[in-house]
Amino acid sequence: MKSVDFAGIRKRCVQSALSLFFASLCVVAFLITTSAATAADAPDAKTVLSHAASVYRTLTNYQAQIRIQTIDGPKVAEQKFSETGSGNSYRCEESTPSGLVFASDGQTDWALDRKANVYTESKAGTAKACVSQLGQIDQNVKDASVDDEELYWLNSTPVKVYVIEVTRTSWPADSPAGAQSVTYTIDEQTFHVYKAITYTNAASHVALYTLTQSQETAGATKLAFTPPASAREVSSLPAQSPNFSSIVGMQAPDFSLKDAKGRTYKLSDYKGKVVIVDFVGSWCPPCLAQMPYLQQENDAFPSSDLEVLGLDIGEDAKQVTDFGLNAAYSFPLLLGAEPEVTAAYFVGDYPTTYIIGRDGRIVFKATGTENPGGFLAAVKTSVGAKQ
């Protein structure tokens, strides 16, 4: 049976004072439905972290793709890295020509800032490895809990994962400033880490990992590193500032997802209408508090003007069906939004709600239910903006 840790019910759920009353009612109702669950149902979080760390400490001949997202309200930034490694050696490079490079031959670590044309050189174990650093996720753990057991879609195939929340006695030097907690999404079978969300008192930081094991030797030519002759050695690299842009005003990324009955919904099919896209889960009390507003707007406007799409996170067809039927939601609830769609929309907290205008551009974003008045007003304005 699915178990939930209500001691810290998802740092990734955003909850405001406006939703506390409704959320408390949702928690009570949800507790009743899960009353048969016991602590024995949940695995030990620290054991899961230990298994995952062991996997990454013993990686050989691997390739990985990494996306690092910084989300601060409507302001978002993203970096993409590729990493190749074999044993204690690795090379991790940012995809932009002027980006960062981290490398190690097992004896020496290097970090190069191509844009500033400076590098650091140090004893192995001090530089940042994008994937290999996951071998330390079981270190300096103050508290760890299994928040949930969910589904995570890999190449359109759902796999079972643990969502584990961690606080630390101390944070690695390359952690986001003001780090307070982190949630890891970890495969129940392979113990691969697919996602890590670090929460601060301001921005959320999302890391997405795609790891490929290879029987082929990574090869010295792929891992060899020599600083450019023109580069200058420094004691530390310049501080990296995210290259923020506003997601409000951007063209909404298209997606195609199915509901529990297998019907396909494609965002681009609704161009010319206003579309509300809400990232939700029945495990999230603030999400439940937000849902009546969605139903209210769904009922207030004709389908020729407005469509509401709920993008469910981490649940199977039966759970999503029960979620909709139990509360009589009449708008579609779609499966499999994580990780591709959540990454495209820079989702780091739940619920995250978007309003997409008739021209297909994002006109509004909110997390939690901190601004229901603003949300309702934005819907009204968007629907009234005829092309």
Instruction: Check if the beta carbon of residue 349 is closer than 8 Å to that of residue 367.
Output: yes
Query: What's the confidence (pLDDT) of residue 216?
Result: 58
373/151 Cα distance (integer angstroms): 33
**The residue type at 223:** L
Strand partners for 79:
68
Q: How would you write the pLDDT of the chain (387 residues) with one tens digit per residue?
A: 333 443 344 556 754 444 444 444 444 444 444 434 444 566 899 999 999 999 998 888 889 999 999 999 999 999 999 999 888 889 999 999 899 999 998 899 999 999 999 999 999 877 677 887 899 999 999 999 998 899 999 988 999 999 999 999 999 877 888 999 999 999 999 999 999 999 998 899 999 999 987 655 555 556 788 999 999 999 999 888 889 999 999 999 999 999 999 999 999 999 999 999 999 999 999 999 999 999 999 999 999 999 999 999 999 999 999 988 877 899 999 999 999 999 999 999 999 999 999 999 999 999 876 668 889 999 999 999 765
Query: What's the confidence (pLDDT) of residue 23?
Result: 43
Query: What's the confidence (pLDDT) of residue 187?
Result: 97
185/29 Cα distance (integer angstroms): 26
Query: What's the confidence (pLDDT) of residue 33?
Result: 44
Query: What's the confidence (pLDDT) of residue 386?
Result: 67
9/92 Cα distance (integer angstroms): 35
Domains of the chain, start order: 45-245 (2.50.20.10), 247-384 (3.40.30.10)
Strand partners for 183:
165, 197
Long-range contacts of 35-41 (CB under 8 A, 24+ apart): 36/1, 37/1, 37/2, 37/3, 37/4, 38/3, 39/3, 41/1, 41/2, 41/3
pTM to 2 decimal places:
0.88
Longest CA–CA span in the chain (Å) reads 66
Instruction: Check if the beta carbon of residue 67 is closer than 8 Å to that of residue 343.
Output: yes
